[in-house]
């Protein structure tokens, strides 16, 4: 399953446990997920806090999963499947991060969650492209993932501001990663990986300080 493949990829990238499979929490029906039938989103992580811990569900639209099964980004990431890849990667990023933080009794913010997901989309895409294209990745990847984006029209103002801020911070951080570690004159993949793993483990405030430093 594509979701599980992407989840395993992120677990290896960040060297974090992969104990909670996305497939075990997956819901593909909007009604069963408690979403409005006309709800615009194709993905959402559903979280309820109970006395015994968090109750989590993962919604991904059935049509997205079908398209990904027919055009798997693990095999070939391209213009034809990158939008669905981003949809899938969003929930694949959220679930492990939530469970990892919860297991450590760490608090987190929604902005932190979205920022990490935007970073994950970019670095995972970069890894896929370099593996599939003999070590190269499109120069337009950063623009494609951070600047050619659209936001759901039915987002409330708070959510819209949060998504836009996460995009802006992630774009700045990933641009800096490219400049420091992946330029044509100096490529340091081990240092790039070490920085990513360090960033993943930072708190909300520490992440923002790292981005603007």
Tens digit of pLDDT for each residue in 44-65?
887 776 666 667 888 899 999 9
pLDDT at 19 over 50: yes
**Average pLDDT of 131-149?**
90
* Mean pLDDT over the full length of the chain: 88
Q: What is the pLDDT of residue 184?
A: 61
Statement: residue 36 has pLDDT above 60: no
How many Cα atoms occupy the beta-carbon half-sphere of 65 within 13 Å?
19
The pLDDT of residue 187: 77
Q: What pLDDT does residue 164 have?
A: 95
pLDDT band at 31 (very low <50, low <70, confident <90, very high): low
Quick one: which of 33, 55, 53 has its CA closest to 44? 33
Cβ–Cβ < 8 Å for 1, 23: yes
pLDDT of 147 reads: 92
In this predicted structure, the answer to whether residue 7 has a pLDDT above a threshold of 80 is yes
pLDDT above 60 (res 35): no
Can you say whether the dihedral through the CA atoms of 92, 93, 95, 97 is positive or negative?
positive
Cβ neighbours for 138, distance < 8 A, ≥ 6 positions apart: 129, 144
Please write the tens of the pLDDT for every residue from 158-194. Answer: 989 999 999 999 999 999 999 999 876 667 889 999 9
pLDDT number for residue 37:
47
Spatial CB neighbours of 21, under 8 Å, sequence gap ≥ 6: 4, 7
Which of residues 126 and 102 earns the better pLDDT score? 126
Q: Tell me the pLDDT tens digit for each residue of 62-92.
A: 999 999 999 999 999 999 999 999 999 999 9
* pLDDT at residue 155, rounded to an integer: 81
Pseudo-torsion of CA 48, 209, 9, 107, nearest 10°?
-20
Residues with Cβ within 8 Å of 178's Cβ and at least 6 positions away in sequence, in order, are 142
Instruction: Check residues 108 and 32 and name the one with the higher pLDDT.
Output: 108
Query: What are the tens digits of pLDDT across the range 196-205?
Result: 999 999 999 9
Burial track 154-180 (b if 16+ CB lie within 10 A, e otherwise): eeeeeeeebbeebbebbbebbeebbee
pTM assigned to the model: 0.91
**5-14, 100-109, 135-144 — which is least confidently predicted?**
100-109
């Amino acid at each position: 399953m594509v979701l599980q493949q992407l989840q395993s990829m992120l677990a290896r990238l960040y060297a974090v446990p992969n104990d909670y499979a996305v497939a075990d929490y997956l819901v593909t029906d909007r009604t069963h997920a408690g979403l409005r039938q006309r709800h615009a989103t194709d993905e959402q992580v559903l979280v309820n806090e109970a006395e015994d811990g968090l109750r989590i569900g993962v919604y991904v639209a059935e049509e997205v999963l079908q398209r990904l099964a027919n055009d798997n980004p693990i095999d070939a990431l391209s213009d034809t499947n990158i939008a669905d890849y981003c949809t899938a990667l969003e929930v694949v990023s959220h679930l492990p991060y939530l469970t990892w933080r919860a297991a450590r009794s760490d608090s987190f913010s929604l902005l932190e969650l979205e920022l990490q997901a935007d970073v994950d989309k970019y670095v995972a895409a970069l890894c896929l492209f370099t593996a599939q294209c003999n070590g190269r990745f499109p120069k337009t990847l950063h623009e494609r993932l951070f600047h050619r984006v659209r936001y759901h029209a039915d987002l409330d103002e708070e959510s819209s501001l949060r998504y836009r801020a996460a995009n802006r911070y992630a774009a700045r951080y990933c641009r800096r990663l490219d400049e420091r570690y992946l330029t044509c004159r100096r490529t340091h993949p081990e240092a790039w990986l070490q920085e990513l793993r360090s960033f993943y483990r930072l708190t909300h405030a520490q992440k923002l300080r790292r981005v603007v430093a």
